[in-house]
Amino acid sequence: MPFRKEPPHTHGSIAQSAIVLVNLGTPDAPTRAAVKRYLKQFLSDPRVVEIPRLVWWFILKCIILPFRSGASAKKYQMIWTREGSPLKVHTAKQASLLAEALEERGHEGVQVRMAMRYGSPSLPEVLDELKAANCDRIAILPAYPQYSGTTTASIWDAVFAHYKDVRNVPELRLVKHYHDHDGYIDALHDIVQAHWDAHGRGGKLVMSFHGVPKRTLLLGDPYYCECQKTARLLASRLRLAPDEYVVTFQSRFGKAEWLQPYTAPTVQALAREGVARVDVICPGFTSDCLETLEEISMEVKHDFEAAGGKEFHYIPCLNESPTWIVGLAEIAEQHLIGWPTIMSPSQRDAERRDAQLGRDHALRLGA
């Protein structure tokens, strides 16, 4: 197999470390054409839709893309901001705040980038850019706290596919999950507590996670269990009794059964049982996006009120909350261990001397 052309190895150059914060992706614009392009790439991923390729290709091309693209574009128009899609805006800010936080914690020269699994900036372009910046150690940090084959592993597929025809592959670290990490749970706790301090407290805390087909759980995907563990840890940090919170799953796609209970029917049932106020948080989303700002804050709110509920409080995602940036830095730091990102001045001098020796050696070789 031919390998991609790359510049000759530079003897004696000082390799850098990098972190890539990878999120799902989002359309480039809230238009039918852009949403169609995005959905086509997303829904063609065999990790996301597992039905036989030819059958799915037909359904996607003839039914899903023609009908869903326009409807989804209208939803994106409702949440779009002047800076762009909320998912991308928050992920970009998180990446830049993470770089600052790592620097404050004494890490030198760690390049932090955001990338999207679908859409832009794409993983391949970001990984190429890091290669050009001489990054020979890369930690891939998915924006998903809970591992799922449908999301996390799909990022890994894209990373492996990218390096398949690269000769000099960097050292890679893949963060699998952080659903039970103290920094993540603390950040969730602070967001809920701040909301309660400002707006009082409802009768029930609904923790709504993105769903996946139930079949994936039966076939070994740990996603459901990781969501349950996050919920349990958050409830315990908030000192909630079991009857004070409920775990639900949203965003069902297609006709198959997904993880249950579904969010919308659950809040409707709560309203009918006389729960006047619900507080809803989406702990599996680290950035606000279409699924939280439109589906939860608009559609599910409407369902709750139509069933007789009085007050629907949506609690925002972690976004750029200060405790979350600390949490992200702690998670990143655990995966930087052993990489020379913190050096004493004498270690730094030794590294520079060694690089010079490498360059002298290269000159003697005529390289």
Name which of Fe ion, ligand L6N33NVT, none residue 150 binds, using a CB cut-off of 5 to 8 Å depending on partner kind. ligand L6N33NVT
Among the listed residues 232, 240, 253, 330, the single contact to ligand L6N33NVT using CB under 6 A? 253
Q: From CA 102, how far away is CA 5, in angstroms rounded?
A: 33
291 in a labelled binding site = yes
Name which of Fe ion, ligand L6N33NVT, none residue 144 binds, using a CB cut-off of 5 to 8 Å depending on partner kind. ligand L6N33NVT
Q: From CA 16, how far away is CA 141, in angstroms rounded?
A: 17
Which region holds residue 2: left if phi is over 0, alpha if psi is between -120 and 50, else beta?
beta
Among the listed residues 15, 48, 174, 307, the single contact to ligand L6N33NVT using CB under 6 A? 48
Angle at CA 70, nearest 5°, toward 68 and 76?
95
| Residue list 203-222, contact with Fe ion (CB under 5 A) | none
| Residue list 291-320, contact with Fe ion (CB under 5 A) | 291, 295
299 in a labelled binding site = no
Name which of ligand L6N33NVT, Fe ion, none residue 253 binds, using a CB cut-off of 5 to 8 Å depending on partner kind. ligand L6N33NVT
Q: From CA 89, how far away is CA 97, in angstroms rounded?
A: 12
Stretch of 148-156, 191-199, 262-270, 326-334 lying at the interface with ligand L6N33NVT (CB under 6 A):
148-156
Residue with tokens 């830049």: 96
| Residue list 104-143, contact with ligand L6N33NVT (CB under 6 A) | none
- The number of angstroms, rounded, from the C-alpha of 170 to the middle of its chain's C-alpha atoms is 22
Pairing of strands 16-25, 111-118: parallel
Contacts of 323 (CB under 8 A, 6+ apart): 183, 186, 187, 190, 191
Among the listed residues 73, 115, 275, 290, the single contact to ligand L6N33NVT using CB under 6 A? 290
Q: Is 144 in the site for ligand L6N33NVT (CB under 6 A)?
A: yes
Angle at CA 87, nearest 5°, toward 256 and 105?
120
Q: Is 87 in the site for ligand L6N33NVT (CB under 6 A)?
A: yes
Q: Which is nearer to ligand L6N33NVT, 65 or 101 (CB)?
A: 65
Q: Is 296 in the site for ligand L6N33NVT (CB under 6 A)?
A: no
The values of phi and psi at residue 197, to 5°, are -60, -35
Contacts of 300 (CB under 8 A, 6+ apart): 208, 250, 263, 264, 267, 280, 312
The site for ligand L6N33NVT (CB under 6 A) is made up of 24, 26, 48-49, 68, 72, 85, 87, 144, 148, 150-151, 210, 212-213, 251, 253, 284-285, 289-291
Binding site for Fe(2+): what residues are annotated?
210, 291
The site for Fe ion (CB under 5 A) is made up of 251, 291, 295
Binding site: what residues are annotated?
210, 291
